[in-house]
């Protein structure tokens, strides 16, 4: 306490000067309308700037959380959309003369649901490319699950640990997928020749296949991916090893150079189908 008093006594003249200056400013701004308006305008500008900086900082802090919420919401919407498309397709293919006496179950369990994940590492500079994502076994991710982006097919889960998974992307020579042109019933095999990370090759389509540049290439028969998922778009006809078949150059819908978020496809019937097909091979 004694030290505090000594400090005040030693610096009393400075404190008095500060008090007098503050009091003089008060008199100026309190009794002069022009100075008061200048003060209020300046104060509002300063406070506005402070609030703006504060809001930007808070928004940045919550950006990751908000982005995660958007991904989860998008995964839910994607699942509902695919389920709705499946139901519409079933009703469209049914005999229109048949009248159902019973109301259909409105809570039918969807076959697919989607797990949102973030890309934490990505290799696309070589031939043995891979993607690491931040969801693993504890999140329900297993090997052989399909992975898509907001624009198209990405790849397949190869291995998974508790917290991470490794994805083999389309731009890996090991990747193979049954695919077709959207306006056709003929299907072929999609693969990557290792040259361009923006393109893949769709082969084994009949020579009589009618096509146009820009035609959409979608998934066909697959135990991993639902049908009609976008893969890319036809750009040209490439060289084929067999004169009876065409090979198309496909511009991939997914941009691997800017890939940040993905959706992992979980198929509730996958294990059942897998066991059935295994039994047929014995």
Mean pLDDT, 10 residues at a time, the chain of 282 residues: 69 75 70 61 56 58 61 63 61 48 48 88 85 93 92 94 94 93 89 92 86 90 86 85 82 92 88 81 72
The two tokens of residue 121 are 């590492």
Residue with tokens 């135990």: 223
- pLDDT of 96 reads 47
- pLDDT of 98 reads 43
Alpha-carbon distance of 166 to 168, in angstroms, equals 7
CA angle 276, 277, 279 (to 5 degrees): 65
Alpha-carbon distance of 144 to 72, in angstroms, equals 21
In this structure, are residues 134 and 120 in contact, taking their beta carbons and an 8 Å threshold? yes
- pLDDT of 99 reads 40
- pLDDT of 280 reads 81
Domain boundaries, the chain: 113-282
- pLDDT of 279 reads 82
The two tokens of residue 184 are 């056709």
What does the CA dihedral 193, 201, 278, 224 come to, rounded to 10 degrees? 110
Q: Classify strands 146-148 and 187-191 as parallel, antiparallel or unpaired.
A: unpaired
CB-CB neighbours of 215 under 10 Å: 19
Alpha-carbon distance of 171 to 154, in angstroms, equals 9
Alpha-carbon distance of 145 to 129, in angstroms, equals 17
CA 197 to chain centre: 19
- pLDDT of 176 reads 93
CB-CB neighbours of 170 under 10 Å: 27
Fold of the CATH domain 113-282: Thrombin, subunit H (2.40.10)
Alpha-carbon distance of 167 to 146, in angstroms, equals 9
Phi and psi (nearest 5°) for 66?
Answer: -65, -40
């Amino acid at each position: 306490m004694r030290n505090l008093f000594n400090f005040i006594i030693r610096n009393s003249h400075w404190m008095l000067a500060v008090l007098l200056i503050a009091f003089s400013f008060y008199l100026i701004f309190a009794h002069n309308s022009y100075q008061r308006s200048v003060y209020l305008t300046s104060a509002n500008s300063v406070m506005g700037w402070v609030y703006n900086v504060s809001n930007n900082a808070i928004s940045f802090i919550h950006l990751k959380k908000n982005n995660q919420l958007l991904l989860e919401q998008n995964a839910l919407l994607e699942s509902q959309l695919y389920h709705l498309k499946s139901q519409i397709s079933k009703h469209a293919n049914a005999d229109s003369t048949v009248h159902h006496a019973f109301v259909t179950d409105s809570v039918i369990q969807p076959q697919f649901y989607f797990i949102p994940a973030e890309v934490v590492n990505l290799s696309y500079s070589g031939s043995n490319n891979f993607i690491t994502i931040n969801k693993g076994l504890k999140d329900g991710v297993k090997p052989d699950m399909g992975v898509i982006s907001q624009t198209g097919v990405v790849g397949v889960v190869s291995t998974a640990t508790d917290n991470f998974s490794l994805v083999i992307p389309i731009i890996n020579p090991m990747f193979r997928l049954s695919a077709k042109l959207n306006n056709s019933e003929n299907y072929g095999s999609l693969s990557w020749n290792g040259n361009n990370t923006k393109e893949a090759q769709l082969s084994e389509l009949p020579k009589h296949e009618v096509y146009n540049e820009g035609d959409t290439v979608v998934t066909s028969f697959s135990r991993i991916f639902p049908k009609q998922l976008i893969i890319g778009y036809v750009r040209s006809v490439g060289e084929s090893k067999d004169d009876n078949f065409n090979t198309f150059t496909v511009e991939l819908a997914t941009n691997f150079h800017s890939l940040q978020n993905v959706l992992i496809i979980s198929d509730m019937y996958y294990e059942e189908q897998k066991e059935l097909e295994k039994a047929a091979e014995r």
